[in-house]
């Protein structure tokens, strides 16, 4: 089982990228689980036709220990196993705590043993790299961390903070930094700036996703581009990125 955490600032395209990679690998015959670690709980929506997934945190509040694995994990496009950690209501608690509770519940119910996924993706908000948001980096969870960024200054800043956190924690047995994914926004010197970021952390830009209206069009349909436009160049780019990460 390969366990991969994808981090990046809010709005940078993490969920779109992760969902497309999950769909691509599932279509190739892999058993894939995608765990959304963002309090917005929208990581898996493109795999579920735009339909929201009930969160583990909400289920735990409602049912406590009686919550079942089947309630926490649902099947999306091509059989991708969809999970949303969830988060507290605004102003009522720490969002990172929701991730910790979700991971505890999945472990308690033996999710990995029951479903036996070949690949697990953790889709993690990276604006704040502390507390529960570092859980996917810790030993026993992700094997490697990939950071999504564009060439925009705020995205670069967030990506650098995430990479520093991975670098800091790696000596404690946490996941290693696998590389940078460039999700293009067509800003000035975009490739050069992201390449410089990768050099700073002695890693590589493992893949690039072009800024595409077709990806947005698929999202408007509540689908991944891999599902909506499987023969497109955009779908092929996600397939190549997914395989490159899987084989790295």
Active site residues: 9, 14, 40, 127
Q: Report d(CA 87, CA 94) in Å as an integer.
A: 8
Q: CA of 54: how far to CAs of 59, 72, 98, in Å? A: 7, 7, 13
Element (H, E) at 36: strand 32-37
Q: Which strands, in side-by-side order, build the sheet including 119-125? A: 74-75, 81-84, 32-37, 119-125, 2-8, 144-149, 176-183, 205-209
Q: Report d(CA 181, CA 163) in Å as an integer.
A: 12
Q: Report DSSP state, residue 204.
A: -
Q: Report d(CA 22, CA 120) in Å as an integer.
A: 9
Q: CA of 34: how far to CAs of 12, 46, 103, 156, 215, in Å? A: 18, 12, 13, 25, 19
């Amino acid at each position: 089982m390969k366990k991969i955490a994808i981090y990046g600032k809010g709005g940078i395209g993490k969920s779109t990228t992760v969902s497309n990679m999950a769909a691509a690998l599932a279509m190739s015959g892999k058993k894939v689980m995608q765990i959304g670690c963002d309090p917005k709980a929208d990581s898996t929506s493109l795999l579920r036709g735009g339909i929201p997934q009930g969160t583990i945190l909400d289920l735990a509040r409602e049912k406590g220990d009686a919550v079942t694995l089947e309630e926490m994990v649902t099947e999306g496009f091509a059989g991708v196993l969809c999970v949303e950690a969830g988060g507290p209501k605004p102003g009522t608690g720490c969002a990172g705590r929701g991730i910790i509770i979700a991971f505890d519940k999945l472990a308690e119910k033996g999710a990995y043993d029951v479903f036996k996924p070949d690949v697990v993706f953790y889709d993690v908000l990276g604006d704040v790299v502390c507390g529960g948001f570092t859980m996917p980096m810790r030993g026993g969870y992700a094997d490697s961390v990939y950071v999504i960024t564009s060439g925009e200054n705020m995205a670069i800043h967030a990506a650098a903070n995430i990479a520093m956190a991975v670098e800091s924690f790696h000596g404690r047995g946490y996941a290693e930094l696998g590389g940078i994914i460039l999700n293009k926004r067509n800003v000035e010197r975009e490739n050069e700036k992201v390449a410089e970021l990768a050099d700073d952390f002695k890693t590589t830009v493992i893949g690039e996703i072009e800024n595409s209206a077709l990806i947005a069009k698929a999202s408007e349909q509540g689908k991944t581009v891999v599902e909506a436009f499987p023969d497109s160049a955009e779908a092929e780019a996600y397939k190549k990125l997914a395989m490159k990460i899987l084989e790295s």
